Amino acid sequence: MGGDAASPVPALAARRAVLERAGARGDEVEELLAYNRSAVEERGVPAVPQFPLADEPHLAAWREYAEDAERRGAWAALSERLPQLRFPVAAGMSERAHYRDATRRGIVPPPAGPESGLRLVEPAGVELLLHPALAGTVPVIVAAARADFVALVQAFCHRNEPAAVPDSMGACIVAGYNNWDRIRAHRRSWEAGTPGADATAWSAEFRRLQAEKPLYQDRFVILSRGPYSNVDAAAAGFGEEEWLRHSLRIRREHECTHYFTLRVFGGLQNNLLEELIADFVGLVAAFGGFDADLALRFLGLEAYPGVRPSGRLANYRGSPPLSDGAFTVLARLAHDAVRNLARLADARRRDVRAPEPLARLVCALTALSLEELADGPGGRVEALLGAPVGSAEAPRARGQEPAP
């Protein structure tokens, strides 16, 4: 790469050169530079945190939810506490007065019945997990039925509106969730310690609480149990049940990597660089190494330079969407970046198998640009991390050959 290895972000001139070598012309270069703008460019490289990361404040409440789920089932435990689950998905739901009262003012609606609440195909198939991840403990809701995953995403991410959810999407993070159950618990605790407090005093306390978002805003993950990236078992090279087990683990670690990026870097870009890094972590968690062929298949690039329209790459075309020419260049960047991630995993085989070195590697990769990852990130990664600590005895990913 042509940029200065010591600088936080590669020089624009070097990034332009990579894009031009990849076939970008004229306005396509500017399109891709804007698309590939990273959290690091906006916020700078954060200090590397101490690992493992401490649990966030909302975990105390979610531990209670998980204990209740053990006794009564996750659906009962969650629908009692999270008001979005007490409403169906329907056009215009987000503007209805009782919905707004429940989600914006914390006015508890009646218990959800079979006709009034979120309609699930398999409510007993909903699980609540507290997963130890790079980001600390992460609350994870898993839906056994695809239709139930879609309904949960629509409820929490689209305010119970019937928004389209792509078939290749199997996970999402809910961030900045205003948890009225935690607010009510805070009020009970505050009133117990403030004898004689009236409604005016609570209004003042509530205003103070609003300024401390970690005390009432939650983050959690929703997962489906389907095949990862909608890739069927035969194409992935596994039996059906085996592939579903691998898919859940890949998906869980992928989404928890986004959660980690959100915690450490302060934001998500929802672009291709973060997707590649998250797939990298998901694959090494599932197989102990990085399978580049599977990573390309997830994106729809298994027959590159062909691009399968149903692959996940199409989900990351950006807003406004990249032009056809720029998207063709993005596909090449993705292909080359995956091959370079395979080389990196081979050089750092021991690192990718231990949580703390893997977390530091994720930080280093997130500090790159997509152009740099596609062009060969070795020098900058080594500058950020130090010399590789790979071991010749460490196992490779399934089907992975040594990189040249």
pTM: 0.86
DSSP string, 170-181: -EEEEEEEE-HH
Scanning the structure block, which residue is given the tokens 């001139």? 13
- The mean pLDDT values, 10 residues at a time, for the chain of 404 residues are 41 91 96 84 70 92 98 96 95 95 87 72 96 95 97 97 91 95 96 92 95 96 94 96 96 95 80 93 95 97 96 91 97 96 90 88 89 81 56 31 26
* Alpha helices by DSSP H, 240-306: 240-265, 272-287, 292-299
For residue 192, what are the CA distances in angstroms to 107, 205, 213, 226? Answer: 21, 13, 22, 46
Burial 192-225 (b: 16+ CB within 10 A, else e): eeeeeeeeeeeeebeeebeeeeeebbbbbbbbbb
pLDDT given for residue 116 in this prediction: 72
For residue 257, what are the CA distances in angstroms to 53, 245, 264, 278, 363? Answer: 13, 19, 10, 5, 10
pLDDT given for residue 196 in this prediction: 87
Q: Which bin fits 72, alpha (ψ -120 to 50), beta or left (φ > 0)?
A: alpha
pLDDT given for residue 166 in this prediction: 86
Single-letter amino acid, residue 290: F
Dihedral angle computed from the Cα positions of residues 145, 151, 154 and 159, in that order, rounded to the nearest 10 degrees = -150
* DSSP-derived secondary structure letter, 117: S
pLDDT given for residue 12 in this prediction: 86
Q: How far is the C-alpha of 287 from the C-alpha of 298, rounded, in Å?
A: 15
Supply angle C-alpha 307, 308, 311, rounded to 5.
Answer: 110
Single-letter amino acid, residue 345: A
Provide the residue count of the chain.
404
For residue 308, what are the CA distances in angstroms to 169, 272, 300? Answer: 15, 16, 5
With CA atoms as reference, report the closest residue to 269 among 280, 258, 279. 258
User: Quick one: tokens of 291?
Assistant: 């399978």
Percentages (nearest 5) of helix, strand, coil residues in the chain: 55, 10, 40
